Amino acid sequence: MIKRDKKRESRIAKERVVYLVKRAEEWKNKDYELARRYVELAKRIAMRYRVRIPRELKTIYCKKCLYPYKEGNFRVRVRKRRVIITCLNCGFERRIPIRQTVRGATKNTKSITS
C-alpha cells in the first residue's frame, strides 16, 4: 500500500480549487453552464480534501446554486454595515459584514508602553 502524503495532497487540492474557480470566472460570460460546473468541481475537491476556498474566491459565486455571479444576475446592497449580495438565479442572499480595520493601532500602543 502506498502511504498517502496528506500535506502534498491538500496542497495540490488547493491549487486545483483555485484554478477551477478562476476558470469559472473566465468562462462565466462565454459558457455559463461550464462555469457552474467548474465551481461545482472546485467545491467537491475542497470538500473531499478538506481544504478551504480562499475568501476572495468565495465571493464570486452563489453558495446555493453555484452559478458564478455575473452582470445582471446579482444585486449588491449595503445595509447595516453589511454587504448583501443577492443571487437573482435562486434568490439566495449572502451577507458579508464589513470589518472595521484599526490598522496600526496595536502597534502604536506597543511602542508607547515598551
Residues at the interface with Zn ion (CB under 5 A):
62, 64-65, 87, 89-90, 92
Query: CA 13 to CA 98: how far, in whole Å?
Result: 30
In the complex, the smallest distance separating the C-beta of residue 64 from Zn ion, rounded to whole angstroms, is 5
In the complex, the smallest distance separating the C-beta of residue 61 from Zn ion, rounded to whole angstroms, is 8
Give the residue with the Cβ less far from Zn ion, 8 or 71. Answer: 71
Angle between helix axes 32-48 and 6-27 (nearest 10 degrees) is: 160
Q: How far apart are the first and last CA of the chain?
A: 56
Give the residue with the Cβ less far from Zn ion, 20 or 39. Answer: 39
Residue 11: DSSP 8-state: H
Give the residue with the Cβ less far from Zn ion, 29 or 108. Answer: 29
